[in-house]
A and B are shown apart, each in its own frame.
Chain A
Amino acid sequence: MPMPDWLRIRREEELASGDEKLWDKCPSCGEMLYRKDLEANLWVCTRCGHHFRMHAYDRINSLVDGDFVEIGTEILPGDPLGWVDKRPYPQKLETDREKSKLSEAVVTGFGTLDGFPIALGVMDFSFRGGTMGTVVGDRIAHLLEEARRRHLPTIVFTASGGARMEEGMLALMQMAKTTQAVDRFMQDGNLYVTVLTDPTTGGVSASFAFQSDIVIAEARAAIGFAGRRVIEQTIRQKLPENFQTAEFLLEKGHVDMVVPRPAIRETLIRLLDYAVDRKRIAPALKAVPEFAL
């Protein structure tokens, strides 16, 4: 599959910054992995199966058929509280923009998945720990509103440390905003699927992550409400190794399935095929590939 233009442009930006690495060490088994092999294997260790955290654009590229039309890029962060600790909040944002090549912690847009037109949101932990501030909330709500108008099935990949402290209560209110947008979308009979990736916690976990028709957990992901450290401090004892893992949640009945990353695309296609009547989304299909707003 040729590299789509949107991704090629991203890649060139990345190359220009000169941070392209050749080798990565697996934090789980210690194996040195050739970057190209790791990329080809969707950032899953070829030796032990450890799932590296994946860049939002790599994730999108691994899913959509060809083009991806990004929306919500005009929704950008401000500094509503005038937050300063070690550094002012706008400086932290700037650092994360450079480091992650992202304008915020979620990328939203439209594409097709095996011919199914879908709305897709992908969070990225490398931007402020995937925390939800006003921009994440607004982009998610915007995505669901646009998807609702088009009757598009919506898939959201979550990765989040919770609410963004530097935006205070405005961040917390995004839980209300996203929950409402999801519910409105679902009440209209549209399919909403979430894929919980490592880590999914706090305000994201307790709003749009667990509201979906089908909750998929990526293999080995840490998922929960309270962070592991908070719980350990509260109960003053060490937690079992598998606590709050995807596999633990499956056993407890919180998620529909646990899927290793290389099988996620196929799984989503199968789910769309069961749940979505292609005739119903025919009007949206006609709009492909431009997804005119």
Chain B
Amino acid sequence: MNLIVEREKSIVALEDRIAALRARDAAGTSEEVRLLEGKYAELQEDLFGHLTPWERVHMARHPKRPISSDYIAAFDEFDELHGDRHFRDDPALVGGFAKIRGRRVMVLAQQKGRDTKENIRRNFGLVSPEGYRKAKRLMELASRFELPIVTLVDTQGADPGIGSEERAQSEAIASCLTTLSRVRVPVVATIVGEGGSGGALALALADRVIMPQHSIYSVASPEGCAAILWGDASRADEAAARLRLTSDDLLAFGIVDEVVPEPLGGAQREPEAFIRKIVDAIEAALRRLESVPPDVLRERRYDKYRRIGAWESDSRDSVAVVVP
């Protein structure tokens, strides 16, 4: 059960009444319409104006939230490339050539499904080793042909199945990280829904990380964290409150570079306009990074991650400090 969907249900009746009244009174001049609309705005603010971290998790998992394929559909062109050339094509990881407002790029995206059937096919966006190996292959291709890499992150984590362990999930993720730290082209990552653990970071070691306001990005999914620390996945809400997984927290830590505000109630309220805003942000990042020489780009990328949670030798007290 999604907490946000439940809240939306509570105002559907009001929305319907306003729509019915509007149908009769298009200008919205009647006292009743104005009154109801005022009440509606108030209710919206009450319901969605101040979300707790756990509510944000539900927002990030909202069944109507834009997913990777919605963003890819908003690019000018896209041609998918399949497979890791060893084992199989992983449908949870979509990759290929694309053009974004005329710019040639390589797109790598974690793909959830819109319904149960597609979610099963896409393994709920949980990427297997062959998915990461496909990503690595395409990152190298992009680097050779000087195509910036645009990634869309949306996963609770890497696939934890028997087959994934047999095919070296750890090595596959480590290879993606190594490759992203090596590529001579700009890397722009967007956390479109939820980013969980190393499975998300494997696509997000980037020169610029963009985060929609209500996405989450976490060391482990709140359920996973609660299971690890307290042996009880049902305490996920408590874990969410502590993990500092919201966009505000991560911007303050310097882990994401840019937060894109969402409409009240979430991106799914005005999906087209919101997707356009994200594409704007990606385009702006690409424009800023395209003139940076490759060696400088790599040096800056190294320094960026080197500084996160780094010890500062000139600090007086013995604590690791965060340099934003």
Is the beta-carbon distance between A183 and B320 smaller than 8 angstroms? no
**Interface-facing stretch out of B21-29, B34-42, B134-142, B169-177:** B169-177
In the complex, what distance in Å separates the CA atom of A269 from the CA atom of B206?
38
Q: Is A27 an interface residue (CB 8 A)?
A: no
Interface of A is mostly: helix
Is the beta-carbon distance between A243 and B218 smaller than 8 angstroms? no
In the complex, what distance in Å separates the CA atom of A263 from the CA atom of B311?
36
- Given contacts A76-B320, A203-B197, A183 and B309 within 8 Å (CB-CB): no
Is the beta-carbon distance between B168 and A254 smaller than 8 angstroms? yes
Q: Is B100 an interface residue (CB 8 A)?
A: no
Q: Which residues of A contact B169 (CB under 8 A)?
A: 206, 224-226
- Given contacts A77-B319, A210-B174, A231 and B308 within 8 Å (CB-CB): no
Q: Which residues of A contact B224 (CB under 8 A)?
A: 230
- A contact residues, range: 35 or more
Choice from B161, B171, B198 contacting A172 with Cβ under 8 Å: B198
Contact mask for chain A residues 225-238; partner B; CB cutoff 8 A; 1 contact, 0 none: 11101110111000
Contact mask for chain A residues 122-137; partner B; CB cutoff 8 A; 1 contact, 0 none: 0000000000011101
Q: Is A180 an interface residue (CB 8 A)?
A: yes
In the complex, what distance in Å separates the CA atom of A173 from the CA atom of B167?
24
Q: Is A167 an interface residue (CB 8 A)?
A: yes
Choice from A165, A176, A231 contacting B229 with Cβ under 8 Å: A165
Is the beta-carbon distance between B165 and A81 smaller than 8 angstroms? no
Q: Is A163 an interface residue (CB 8 A)?
A: yes
Is the beta-carbon distance between A176 and B205 smaller than 8 angstroms? yes
In the complex, what distance in Å separates the CA atom of A173 from the CA atom of B313?
20
Q: Is B242 an interface residue (CB 8 A)?
A: yes
Q: Which residues of A contact B119 (CB under 8 A)?
A: none
Interface of B is mostly: helix
| Closest A residue by C-beta to B303 | A180
Is the beta-carbon distance between B162 and A175 smaller than 8 angstroms? no
Q: Is A171 an interface residue (CB 8 A)?
A: yes
In the complex, what distance in Å separates the CA atom of A180 from the CA atom of B313?
21
User: Would you give the shortest CB distance from A28 to chain B, in whole angstroms?
Assistant: 23
Q: Which residues of A contact B161 (CB under 8 A)?
A: 231, 234-235
- Given contacts A137-B309, A203-B197, A226-B169, A163 and B219 within 8 Å (CB-CB): yes
Is the beta-carbon distance between B310 and A252 smaller than 8 angstroms? no
Q: Is B281 an interface residue (CB 8 A)?
A: no
Is the beta-carbon distance between B322 and A172 smaller than 8 angstroms? no
Contact mask for chain B residues 297-322; partner A; CB cutoff 8 A; 1 contact, 0 none: 00001100110111101000011111
List 19 A-B residue pairs with CB atoms under 8 Å apart, sorted by A's residue number: A76-B318, A135-B320, A167-B309, A168-B242, A169-B243, A169-B253, A170-B322, A172-B197, A175-B198, A183-B181, A187-B182, A203-B197, A207-B174, A210-B171, A210-B174, A224-B169, A225-B164, A226-B165, A231-B165
